[in-house]
Amino acid sequence: MAIEQNVEIDLQKVESIIGCVFTDKMHLLTAITHRSYLNENRDAKQDHNERLEFLGDAVLELVITDFLFNKYPDKPEGELTAVRAALVNTVSLADASTKLGVNDYLLMSKGEAKDTGRARQYILANVFEALIGALYMDKGYETAKEFIGAHLFEKTDTIVQNRLWQDPKSRFQELAQEHVSVTPSYETLAQVGPDHDRVFTVGVFLKDEKVAEGNGRAKQEAEQAAAEAALAAKNW
């Protein structure tokens, strides 16, 4: 299937940053195409990337599971699952996409292109999985595995050493007990807004010391935010 020349030039740049020349360029073009792009470009020949994302997610999980299973032969299943989740969460995958430079070549609607923050993180994470799916389709499992390894395996030691596989509350509690032999407590300091749009402010304490505060639309979310802030405040 023919691809317009201006798109093909961009694809060559994407191939360069990925480190792979595709046999079927349509696999790569589809991987970088967001659903919204097709709404504004009815004559586009490619599909959006959601099916490739679905495939890439499965390949990613297998590769990471195999890697962690062999790297940490003594870790229990529960901890391996938590480390894997930290490696393949939205923030981690979006970060990998950003470092690749994929963000500059995404095909999406003008409205979606203006989105930043969490919305863009989801798009970038999904594109990373779609690229894995495209590599798997075009070159096979080993090439997809090499791509994943090059961009995610190096994060593992940092995640394990800094206990980033734990949620902030669990991590702060464990470190508080280790450093000062105290179990943190949480107190709701304020709640504002109507029931359907309420924001909670929660403080985290070590005995009588208020270490930090956090906000969230649910108490649990605010507690996690407070614990994250407390880890930074204590430099733990």
Q: Nearest CA to 159 among 97, 88, 227, 96?
A: 88
Given 57, 213, 223, 228, the catalytic residue: 57
What are the pLDDT digits (tens) for 169-183? 988 998 999 999 999
Q: Which of 53, 95, 112, 129 is catalytic?
A: 129
pLDDT at 2: 44
Q: How far apart are CA 84 and CA 149, in angstroms?
A: 13
How far is CA 85 from each of CA 24, 44, 56, 71, 119, rounded to the nearest angstrom? 31, 35, 15, 16, 20
- Over its length of 236 residues, how does the chain's per-residue pLDDT go in tens digits? 445 544 545 899 999 999 999 999 999 999 999 999 998 888 888 999 999 999 999 999 999 999 999 999 999 999 999 899 989 998 899 999 999 999 889 998 877 776 666 678 899 999 999 999 999 999 999 999 999 999 999 999 998 987 788 788 988 998 999 999 999 999 999 999 988 889 999 999 999 999 999 999 899 989 999 998 999 999 98
Is residue 223 annotated as part of the catalytic site, yes or no?
Answer: no
Which tokens is 117 given?
A: 């923050």
Q: What is the pLDDT of residue 7?
A: 53
User: How much is the pLDDT for 150?
Assistant: 97
Q: What domains can you pick out in the chain, each with its CATH number?
A: 5-161 (1.10.1520.10), 168-234 (3.30.160.20)
* pLDDT value of position 58: 98
**53 in active site:** no
At 56 the pLDDT is 98
State both tokens at 107: 């095909």
| Residue for token pair 């292109």 | 113
Nearest in space to 216 (alpha carbons), one of 182, 189, 234 = 189
Judge contact between 31 and 51, C-beta under 8 A.
no
The pLDDT score that the predictor gives to residue 149 is 97
Q: Which residues make beta-bridge pairs with 209?
A: 206
